[in-house]
Amino acid sequence: MTKATVGIIMGSQSDLRIMKEAAEVLDELQVAYELTIVSAHRTPLRMIQYAEQARAKGLKVIVAGAGGAAHLPGMIASITTLPVIGVPVKSSNSIDGWDSVLSILQMPGGVPVATVALDGAKNAGILAAQILATHDEKLAERLAAYKQSLKTKVEEAASALEAKGWRAIEK
């Protein structure tokens, strides 16, 4: 079993519906990760322990998702020196997701959190892989192939649209 280099954490189990997308893309890119629940509000000591031990466990990047007040990414970033990527999650207690976005985005000077779009766990996983790829040529090659596949899908869709027209494609 390969040692995890990315930690994926979320404030509650209900966030898994979004955060699994980070795990899925890391699986596709063959990046080892761990995934768990760490609540800034309900398990603050667990959160502190996780952040303090992350580097010693071999983690290189932390992807932290949270909804509502969304303190988890910022609190983790305040404790560790690892890069933290925050994923604002539109949750049942959210104000249309804006509370989560702003809570993660508006960090004070000295405590940076890279922030992706609302429910953007897939992009967080890709960004974590890109950070790791700065020192891993094989991963950089897998990322290049992944991005090429995105280009190919768009080109194929464009060709089909141009050949068949929008009415045929829309069906």
pLDDT digits (tens, 9 = 90+) for 55-110: 999 999 999 999 988 999 999 999 999 999 999 999 888 788 899 999 999 999 99
Say whether pLDDT at 1 is over 80.
Answer: no
Going from N- to C-terminal start, the domains of the chain cover: 6-135, 137-171
pLDDT at 62: 98
Prediction pTM value = 0.94
Binding residues for substrate: 12, 15, 42
pLDDT digits (tens, 9 = 90+) for 134-144: 999 999 999 99
pLDDT digits (tens, 9 = 90+) for 2-48: 899 999 999 999 999 999 999 999 999 999 999 999 999 999 999 99
Residue tagged 């992944």 (tokens) = 146
pLDDT at 33: 98
Q: Give the class (CATH, top level) of 6-135.
A: alpha beta
Q: Give yes or no for a contact between 100 and 70, defined as CB atoms under 8 angstroms apart.
A: yes
Say whether pLDDT at 120 is over 80.
Answer: yes
Say whether pLDDT at 170 is over 80.
Answer: no
Binding residues: 12, 15, 42
